[in-house]
Chains A and B, each alone.
Chain A
Amino acid sequence: MDNTMTLTKKVALIHSFEPEPDAAVNILLTLQQATKDAYVDEASARLVADYVGLTLANIYELVSYYPALNEQPQARYVLTFCHSAPCAVSDNGFIEKTLHQILGIDEGQVTDDGLLAYQGVACVGACEQAPFIKIKDHIFPNLTTDKIQQLVADLKAGHFDDIL
């Protein structure tokens, strides 16, 4: 994916949607996904607000309310794991601990190189593959401590650069 979003590209992307309030979340999600740091900055939010006819405060409320929209720049890879009950029964509780050990950061923090972060989320519908880690659209199923270690090493080595 092309990660550099110029203003013109941003505007073009926004204008590919209907200029109606009900398009706001669609636009924000698409915009966020197309941006390098995967977050909605104020300038972009303002563009969207003006385009769909909502106020900046409206847009902020959306961005801050929904977990899928980010206010802050994100790490290159955000490793999400499920903290809902069904997965807890499938023993995925070790993932958080393991990631904490390997990366030396807390949930929500970013490694110094800006590469990695991990984040607990509610069920993503991959319960049958627990314990798993999800990065963007990709699921790494049935994990063990070793597999997690391998995954982190692979990510650092850039092995997934093309698919993620």
Chain B
Amino acid sequence: MITRQPLTSRFGRVKDITDVAAYEQLQGYEGLNQVLDATETQNLNTLIEGALWSRSGNGTNVAVDCQEVLTNEAETKYIICNADEGEPGTFKDKALLRSDPLAVIEGMTIAAYLTHAQVGYIYVRGEFRDLILELMQTIENCRAAHLLGKSIFDVPGFDFDIKISESAGAYVCQEPAALFNAMSGATGRPGGRVTPTKAGFYKQPTLVEDAETFANLPVLYRLGAKAYQSLGTSESGGTKLVCLTGQVKNRGLFEVPIGLELTTILNDPEFGGGSQDGTPFKFIHLGGQSGMILPAENITDLIYSPEALQAEHLTMGTGAIVAATEAVNILDYLVPVARFFMDESCGKCPACRIGTVRIYEALQTLQKQEGVPGDLTRLAHMVDHVASQASCFVGQVVANPIFSAMAAFPEEFKAGVDWQAEVVKEVPW
């Protein structure tokens, strides 16, 4: 009988999460041992059949990336676990690192074995001092047990070690180009596009994933492709960590099998448990601040799987779901969303640097019901221009929440405008 919640199965069950022996007692490193026993082809096939999609919201197939890093020859290759988790409403990677860091490390080690990478980094918020100290301890323990270092697991030539790179907070570092800059000591601003698997960190082939994706690897190999995949759907294997926030009764982290109905996640007592005050939900914000805002009536049949969401132009994103009831006006919700993008603009592109401020201001005007005719068109065009002129995802994704909200709740936007006003704003662009 396999657990339906393999990622969180060890949560709270070990006294010392840095203790390698305790981890091993709870099936730790079984996945890696499977990998060591199989051929490269077998391992890659397992990964393909397991259908593991990246959990960080970037929508890539982990098998593809691994294969690319493997085939791109280089002296040093890197495995980077981006656990910075800047997306508001998301705390799954922190939870993993706090409760089961060895799973992430095992996953990274598997990835290193698959791709012939030698150096790993965990990129994590420097503010979380206690978490970093525990992580350092865990890595030390692994080194002592020859699970990190030179010729680990008694496999000659299998060299892999992990360092910690501390982040000082920048959402834009989800963008690999910015991440690599930040990790190398430059300022975390993107300097153009990069293809990590080809020319990533220090221009070397690099696999970048979030902690959750790495934590999935040991599970996949331990269970085998079939069993792993069967946890989810035929196209996407495994489970997903979901962060429920807002006005759900049970806020927090849940591990759900991929393919569940979205309403189940929200309302089932095992998960969200419905709204706090029992009233129906008005909307959800799916996948993080960069995701779409959906009116509750539109999600009744939605399946929570990458492919089903994709069909609706949606994604799971980071697994964040914010739910709100009728009590929340959509503009009240959007103003802090816009503020987030404004605060996180790195300042490189004019469209994003100034445009996000103007969007924030426009939403505030509507929120205060001080809009005049022309303002809604201006807002729409503004968002469109910012999204198309910005050079990285930060500026580009602004459109997702705003456009989806405008489409879903046009009346609330219209209510922000004084249609009798004499001033009419021109829309020159």
Cβ of B261 under 8 Å from chain A: no
A58: chain B residues within 8 A (beta carbon): 185-187
**Stretch from A97-105, A106-114, A120-128, A143-151 at the B interface:** A120-128
A130–B344 Cα distance when bound, in Å, is 22
Find the residue from A33, A62, A84, A126 having the highest chain B CB count within 10 A.
A84
Known: A68-B127, A122-B343, A136-B129. 5 other contacts (CB 8 A): A24-B185, A29-B166, A54-B185, A124-B127, A127-B245
B183: chain A residues within 8 A (beta carbon): 22
B188: chain A residues within 8 A (beta carbon): 65-66
A69–B333 Cα distance when bound, in Å, is 29
A22: chain B residues within 8 A (beta carbon): 165, 183-185
Closest A residue, CB atoms, query B183: A22
The majority secondary structure among interface residues of chain A is helix
B169 touches A67 (CB 8 A): yes
A61–B333 Cα distance when bound, in Å, is 32
A25–B184 Cα distance when bound, in Å, is 9
Report the count of interface residues on A (CB-CB < 8 A). Answer: 39
Cβ of A4 under 8 Å from chain B: no
A124–B131 Cα distance when bound, in Å, is 13
16 A-B pairs (CB sep. < 8 Å): A21-B185, A22-B185, A33-B129, A58-B187, A61-B187, A84-B289, A86-B88, A87-B88, A89-B333, A90-B245, A122-B86, A125-B85, A125-B91, A127-B251, A128-B243, A136-B129
Cβ of B167 under 8 Å from chain A: yes
A50: chain B residues within 8 A (beta carbon): none
A86 touches B170 (CB 8 A): no
Cβ of A42 under 8 Å from chain B: no
A26 touches B126 (CB 8 A): yes
Ranked 5 nearest A-B pairs via Cβ: A21-B185, A66-B168, A123-B88, A125-B91, A84-B88
A40–B334 Cα distance when bound, in Å, is 35
A85 touches B91 (CB 8 A): no
Of residues 14 through 69 on chain A, the ones whose CB sits less than 8 Å from some CB of chain B are 20-26, 28-30, 33, 52, 54, 58, 61-62, 65-69
